[in-house]
Copies of this chain bind each other. A is one copy, B any other.
């Protein structure tokens, strides 16, 4: 879906591979002095002082990770970039350089790729990241996006996902489940539209969950806030696959168990209402939905006072002995073992 369905349609073949990438990247300026050479050579060149370099890479495929029938290209570009920045935030780092690979079939006009890049550039601008490399090739069908992001973090501040300790407090930023509910809404309206194309989409009043799905943000602000408060998380991961899957990931990698309290899990008020429209519980969307891109992290109990001062962070439980397993205490006091039922793009087929 092109946001602005302009009459102009430039065939990709008019530009060719080199033409397309230089067309799309001609106006890019670098921000960081560490970006010695960005786009335009065999490899980008980055300088690094006393910091650690972080690298994360992601693949996004049409029909698996996104549905172009309800995703504007600009949003897609923005989200694809932000999702990568989130991986750097989850290491307690700051994103610095982004490398974009796009495979596109000739069913797409150049304008669609321009909108995609507009979104990418907007994300880079907002997060102060240099778009430092780009590659486009044709695809036999569909759109494929590959993104690699580098980031920096000082040695004493890098945070892994396998270092949670017993009795640590488990925290999340923001609220959970809304992105998944946004997806359900979009998929429902798509079905309605396919059944009767004269129907207008009924998306009013659902701005928050739609924005969470279409235009998520990376919580680099939380990384900064924690740093300013003098809190170094003991472990951290970003929530791309639902809380259940991520908390299991963190506990398994740390060889620990956990106790999470349903009543503590932050859910936006509008998400609750939309969930009941779909006859699901909002907690299910929070636990097993995905794409919230909030941070899940643990802190030492000693930091309890400090973290209580911070807005937009919620303590949802604590780390336990591994033998206790990973459990959710439901609102009616029942202990439920946490199972991963998150987004699994491999099983989804």
Contacts and interface: CB of A to CB of B under 8 A. Distances in A.
Interface of A: 12-13, 15-20, 36-37, 40-48, 51-59, 61-65, 86-88, 90-91, 93, 97, 99, 101-103, 105-106, 132-133, 135-142, 144, 146, 148-151, 153, 155, 158, 160-162, 237-238, 253, 344-349
Which one of A43, A45, A57, A90 has the greatest number of beta carbons of chain B within 10 Å?
A43
Given A140-B64, A146-B57, A146-B59, A43 B87 contact: yes
B103 A40 contact: no
A15 B346 contact: yes
Given A43-B91, A55-B132, 15 more contacts: A17-B344, A42-B86, A42-B91, A43-B88, A43-B149, A44-B54, A47-B155, A48-B51, A55-B97, A56-B133, A57-B146, A59-B101, A61-B138, A106-B349, A138-B348
Contacts of A106: 349
A253 B141 CA distance: 32
A58 B101 contact: yes
Contacts of A253: 40
A138 B347 CA distance: 8
A148 B42 contact: no
Contact of A138 (B37, B133, B158, B346): B346
A336 to B, nearest CB: 22
Contacts of A12: 346
13 contacts: A13-B349, A17-B345, A40-B162, A42-B86, A43-B55, A44-B54, A45-B158, A46-B54, A48-B51, A57-B146, A62-B140, A138-B348, A146-B146
